[in-house]
């Protein structure tokens, strides 16, 4: 618990009112019903989208237009195969399509005039449908000579170079999303009860506090563990592979109060003691440490509201001493 956080805690909740009696610094106690703690869980930052890109057809790589580190936009052509054969096939299919369309139009006119049979017209229609399908097929084949960026991103890897003859499906490039990253964190189920999907949570990233939205939760625990995979989406882009630490504030029900560690003295049977001023006499109170963070501890015991705790503990005062 940083000094800043303690200052805010004191200011907002009036835990302690600091005063000075006869050169002895004391704090006024305020008994609380609960305390807040911070749990930290590390998460690796990953791109939301990451794809290995390949050609859908075999061929010889003609051009690769990008390299590692290049930023690209959705729809950009990233690489191209030698497309001479595909172009020739498409031109042939286009010629057959145009001819079949002309024949069909002529046969429809002739049939309307009663010069041909319905069977001749049906055959012309069938030829047109086949030619049209082949034309569309070879248009797709020509498109498949290109690798097109599926989203805005940055090139993560380049696996091959121009001139390489490849089979379909061989990875050529790897691209990652350049807009957003997400953190994948394994969270114990006991902490998920108070968390909500769609809410923002704090992360510590290289000393800075950044926010991310709790976007997804795995439906089952892996391997029977008591943890589940939680995914948090960041609105900004950070370097993938970095570590960001989720900071969860948890409220624990327990009566007690916060005291500085310097006011505690070790006692017997695992208990601790603090010294208070009662009717101008120093009195020892036994307490149990429930939780501590940085320079403060949350304790329960014989303390009551408005008790005055002596800072510095036994090093500053003697039990039973009367304060004038």
User: Using alpha carbons only, what angle is made at residue 225 by residues 222 and 230, rounded to the nearest 5 degrees?
Assistant: 60
Whole-Å CA distances, 208 to 182, 203, 222, 244: 17, 8, 31, 10
C-alpha of 229 from chain center: 11
Q: CATH number for the 83-144 domain, one of 3.40.50.300, 1.10.287.470, 2.70.98.40, 3.30.70.1400?
A: 1.10.287.470
Q: What is the pLDDT of residues 49-59, one digit of tens each?
A: 999 999 999 99
- Give the separation between CA 155 and CA 75, rounded to whole angstroms: 14
- Spatial distance between the Cα atoms of 20 and 126, rounded to a whole number of angstroms: 102
Length of the chain: 324
Sequence-distant (6+) residues with CB within 8 A of 217 are 192, 197, 228, 229, 230, 231
Query: Does residue 3 carry a pLDDT above 60?
Result: no
Tokens of 15: 């835990």
Token pair listed for 229: 């995979």
Q: Cα–Cα–Cα angle for 201, 203, 245, nearest 5°?
A: 125
Contact between 35 and 291 (Cβ < 8 Å):
yes
pLDDT score at 1: 45
d(CA 20, CA 22): 7
Residue 158 phi, psi (nearest 5) = -130, 120
Of residues 257, 254, 252, 251, the one with CA closest to residue 302: 257
Class for domain 3-36+254-315, per CATH? mainly beta
The domain covering 41-48+178-251 belongs, at the CATH homologous superfamily level, to: Efflux pump adaptor protein, beta barrel domain (2.40.30.170)
Cα torsion angle, 309, 312, 313, 318, sign: negative
pLDDT at 27: 86
Give the pLDDT confidence of 190-205 residue by residue, as tens digits: 888 888 999 999 999 9
Neighbouring C-alpha atoms within 13 Å toward the C-beta of 240: 17
Question: What pLDDT sits at residue 18?
Answer: 40
Bridge partners, residue 27, by sequence: 18, 309
Question: pLDDT digits over 111-165, tens only?
Answer: 999 899 999 999 999 999 999 999 999 999 999 999 999 999 999 999 999 999 9
**Where exactly are the structural domains of the chain?**
3-36+254-315, 41-48+178-251, 83-144
Helix axes 84-112, 118-143, angle to 10 degrees: 160
Report how far residue 280's alpha carbon sits from residue 50's, in angstroms, rounded to the nearest whole number: 70
CA distances from 116 to 101, 112, 127, 206, 249 (A): 17, 9, 16, 82, 85
| Beta-carbon count within 10 A of 273 CB | 20
Q: How many helices, marked H, and strands, marked E, lie in the chain?
A: 4, 21
What pLDDT, on the 0 to 100 scale, is given for residue 313?
A: 57
Low-confidence winner among 255-264, 284-293, 306-315 (lowest mean pLDDT): 306-315
Burial level of 148, CB count in 10 A (0-12/13-18/19+)? Answer: middle
């Amino acid at each position: 618990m940083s000094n800043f956080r303690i200052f805010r805690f004191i200011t907002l909740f009036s835990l302690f009112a600091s005063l000075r009696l006869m050169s002895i610094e004391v704090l006024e106690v305020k008994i609380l019903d609960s305390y807040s703690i911070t749990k930290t869980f590390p998460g690796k930052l990953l791109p939301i989208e990451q794809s290995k890109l390949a050609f859908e057809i075999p061929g010889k790589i003609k051009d690769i237009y990008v390299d590692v580190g290049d930023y690209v936009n959705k729809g950009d052509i990233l690489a191209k195969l030698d497309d001479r054969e595909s172009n020739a096939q498409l031109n042939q299919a286009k010629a057959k399509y145009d001819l079949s369309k002309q024949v069909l139009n002529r046969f429809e006119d002739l049939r309307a005039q009663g010069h041909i049979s319905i069977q001749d017209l049906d055959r012309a229609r069938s030829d047109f449908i086949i030619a049209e399908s082949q034309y569309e097929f070879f248009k797709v084949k020509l498109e498949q000579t290109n690798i097109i960026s599926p989203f805005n991103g940055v090139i993560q890897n380049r696996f091959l170079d121009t001139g390489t003859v490849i089979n379909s499906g061989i990875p050529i490039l790897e691209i990652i999303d350049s807009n957003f990253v997400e953190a994948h964190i394994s969270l114990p189920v006991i902490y998920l009860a108070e968390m909500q999907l769609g809410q923002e949570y704090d992360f510590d990233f290289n000393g800075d506090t950044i926010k991310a939205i709790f976007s997804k939760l795995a439906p089952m625990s892996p391997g029977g563990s008591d943890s589940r995979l939680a995914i948090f989406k960041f609105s900004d882009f950070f370097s993938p592979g970095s570590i960001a630490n989720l900071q969860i504030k948890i409220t624990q029900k327990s009566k007690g109060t916060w005291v500085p560690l310097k006011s505690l003295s070790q006692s017997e049977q695992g208990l601790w003691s603090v010294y208070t001023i009662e009717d101008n006499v120093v009195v020892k109170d036994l307490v149990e440490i429930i939780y501590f963070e940085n320079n403060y501890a949350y304790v329960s015991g014989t303390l009551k509201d408005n008790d005055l705790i002596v800072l510095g503990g036994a090093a500053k005062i003697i039990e039973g001493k009367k304060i004038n």
